């Protein structure tokens, strides 16, 4: 009978040790799989980022090709209009060099001259207004300076009177 309780105690200790060993191995296995899953998740995230960047680069190249085509078309249209306006400018210069004779000179277009004269008047008015503002600002600064000086003088007189009374 003495061996039975000791045997049960030894079995309980062995059973407890076995349970602890199983639990520790299970915990290690979980930790390994978690780090492996974490590493796999990081690898997947990096792969996704690389794919997205590759798609963005491809899209930018496509857009740049389209924008080049548009730009070329715009330049062609602008060049065409530039040629037309150059031709018109040359024609106007020729007309100015040789003004029309006869009744056509009575219908001279004065719109350009009016616009230029209005712009000149506006510039002159702006200059005049600016000059007036400078003068008024200068006068105001002088007035402020005199007022400050008067205040200082009055303060001096008050302090001198106070000192004399003492």
Instruction: For residue range 101-142, list pLDDT tens digits in order.
Output: 545 555 667 788 889 999 999 999 999 999 999 999 999 999
**Is residue 37 in a domain?**
no
**Is residue 140 in a domain?**
yes
Q: To which residue do tokens 């200790």 refer?
A: 13
CB 63 within 8 A of CB 57: no
Quick one: pLDDT at residue 166? 64
Which is it for the CA torsion 65, 70, 71, 73, positive or negative?
Answer: positive
Tokens coding 15: 């059973």
Who contacts 105 (Cβ-Cβ below 8 Å, separation ≥6)? 99
**Is residue 61 in a domain?**
no
> What is the residue-wise DSSP string for 30-48?
HHHHHHHHHHHHHHHHHHH
Tokens coding 134: 């400078």
Quick one: pLDDT at residue 71? 87
Quick one: pLDDT at residue 2? 43
CB 67 within 8 A of CB 73: no
**Is residue 146 in a domain?**
yes
**What's the total number of domains in the chain?**
1
Quick one: pLDDT at residue 93? 60
Average pLDDT of each block of 10 consecutive residues along the chain (166 residues)? 52 81 89 80 86 72 76 85 67 57 60 90 96 96 96 91 76
Q: In terms of residue numbers, what domain contains 153?
A: 115-160
**Is residue 86 in a domain?**
no
**Is residue 1 in a domain?**
no
């Amino acid at each position: 009978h003495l061996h039975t309780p000791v045997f049960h105690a030894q079995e309980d200790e062995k059973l407890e040790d076995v349970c602890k060993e199983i639990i520790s191995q299970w915990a290690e296995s979980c930790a390994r799989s978690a780090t492996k899953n974490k590493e796999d998740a990081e690898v997947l995230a990096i792969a996704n980022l690389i794919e997205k960047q590759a798609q963005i680069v491809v899209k930018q190249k496509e857009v740049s090709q389209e924008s080049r085509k548009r730009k070329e078309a715009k330049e062609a249209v602008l060049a065409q209009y530039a040629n037309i306006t150059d031709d018109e400018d040359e024609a106007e210069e020729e007309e100015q060099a040789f003004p029309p004779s006869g009744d056509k000179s009575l219908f001279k277009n004065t719109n350009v001259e009016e616009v230029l004269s209005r712009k000149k008047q506006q510039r002159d008015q702006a200059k005049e207004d600016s000059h007036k503002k400078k003068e008024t600002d200068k006068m105001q600064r002088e007035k402020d300076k005199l007022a400050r000086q008067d205040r200082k003088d009055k303060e001096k007189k008050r302090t001198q009177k106070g000192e004399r009374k003492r």
